[in-house]
Structure 1
């Protein structure tokens, strides 16, 4: 028999609990679709990319796209009122774009200026907006309603390289290379997946986003 106080505590927890994945059947279907596309197209291309790219050149490509993301970090840190981090973002962009030869070399990190990864979804979250339900977007992968809703306005703000390059073939080539480079970097992390792939990816994504929105502050809910 369950003690009355224990049952009351459980009922209170159940009332307060919010299911982060109310659309799980739909999300699982999209996850399987994305996983199939990845298995037969993107993953083999990423393996080939790693096989033919010298490590130094691979690092250089990663650094270039990382540097192109600094304006986004700068804008979002400013919107969040984190002006010290914004100054670091600006310094990193200027140093890596000049001394780092258009970002090929990450000289800023060697000088002690660590990268801040920020986006509009994190900014809106820092303003107090809840994440909303978890959602898997076709071809794009894990997200939340809040983060998915921030994608469109972010594309119009113009601080990403895709918003600055007018020449369509160049923009598409850069975007494709960015995706391939990102996927290649994730190949080694697949061995960390345990149990149900969908559940593992969902939980890892949600925990990572919460960590980023709170700037690493862990909230003890117990």
Structure 2
């Protein structure tokens, strides 16, 4: 049974790759023929009828101080994951900053609702296991568009499982993890509303989003100092890219 499923998946991949004209094939995106329908479903169905309406209502009726408090709270709750990944990446400075932020904001900041640490110059160092794998030398792997989740790569998908499933399970229950994910997704989508025109006006929104995604990943992997010169492009909300 397993062999049959594996053979079927391989056949789908081969057919998908063959259906993309050679001039449009992207070595980063060998699954493009399957990724594009998933992208259309995400944007034309899930985002149009679910995520965007919820995000619009959230942005319209939730006071900004409440939104800021929720962002601070969710960021603080995931800071231990940043600590682990900073340490695994060999970044003692970022590790120390994140530890200090968690201790300060969890106490003086009332469980992270108030970002007191930033007033002391302790800026949040966002690190994830996908970046950790990249620092260890793992390649991106194929670009993947997931239903309800949006763009990722094989490497970052592995990292997301570690960051959002394995590590949170050490401290959070499953319902708490789901609530945390939902809050972050809605806030990220609400932040994107003013930037929607960039995507809608592009000649090929799928390719536009993919290029933005890879540039953002490179930027994050090298902490804002990638080794190659990148073309300047309009900024896209990085959190939304993880939750499309």
Coarse TM-score class (shorter-chain normalised): 0.7 to 0.9
Equivalent of 1:212 in 214, 220, 231 = 220
Shift of 1:116: 0.9
Segments of 4+ in structure 1 off by > 3 A?
A: 153-157, 168-175
Matched residue, 1:51: 60
Shift of 1:181: 2.1
* TM-aligned CA distance change 1:164 to 1:203, over 3 Å: same
Equivalent of 1:177 in 183, 190, 194 = 183
For structure 2, which runs of at least 5 residues remain unmatched after alignment?
1-25, 231-244
Encode CA deviations 1:137-187: one digit per residue, 9 max, x unaligned.
1111100111112233334542x3x65223x55544443233222221222
Asked if the contact 1:155–1:163 (Cα under 8 Å) also holds between the matched residues in 2, the reply is no
Matched residue, 2:111: 102
Matched residue, 1:71: 80
Matched residue, 1:138: 147
Considering only CA atoms, is the larger Rg found in Structure 1 or Structure 2?
A: 1
Question: What's the secondary structure of 1:135's corresponding residue?
Answer: strand
Question: Does structure 1 residue 29 correspond to structure 2 residue 18?
Answer: no
Asked if the contact 2:164–2:177 (Cα under 8 Å) also holds between the matched residues in 1, the reply is no
Asked if the contact 1:97–1:103 (Cα under 8 Å) also holds between the matched residues in 2, the reply is yes
* TM-aligned CA distance change 1:173 to 1:127, over 3 Å: closer
Measured in 1, the distance between the counterparts of 2:220 and 2:212 equals 12
Matched residue, 1:11: none
Provide the aligned C-alpha RMSD in A: 2.1
* TM-aligned CA distance change 1:145 to 1:30, over 3 Å: same
Considering Cα pairs closer than 8 Å and 6+ residues apart, tell me whether 1 or 2 has the greater RCO.
1
Shift of 1:190: 1.8
Normalised TM-score (structure 1): 0.84
Measured in 2, the distance between the counterparts of 1:212 and 1:170 equals 27
* TM-aligned CA distance change 1:130 to 1:49, over 3 Å: same
Asked if the contact 2:86–2:94 (Cα under 8 Å) also holds between the matched residues in 1, the reply is yes
Asked if the contact 1:42–1:180 (Cα under 8 Å) also holds between the matched residues in 2, the reply is yes
* TM-aligned CA distance change 1:196 to 1:152, over 3 Å: same
Equivalent of 2:204 in 178, 196, 199 = 196
Deviates more, 1:41-50 or 1:211-220: 211-220
Question: What's the secondary structure of 1:209's corresponding residue?
Answer: helix
Measured in 1, the distance between the counterparts of 2:209 and 2:107 equals 38
Asked if the contact 1:156–1:163 (Cα under 8 Å) also holds between the matched residues in 2, the reply is no
For structure 1, which runs of at least 5 residues remain unmatched after alignment?
1-17
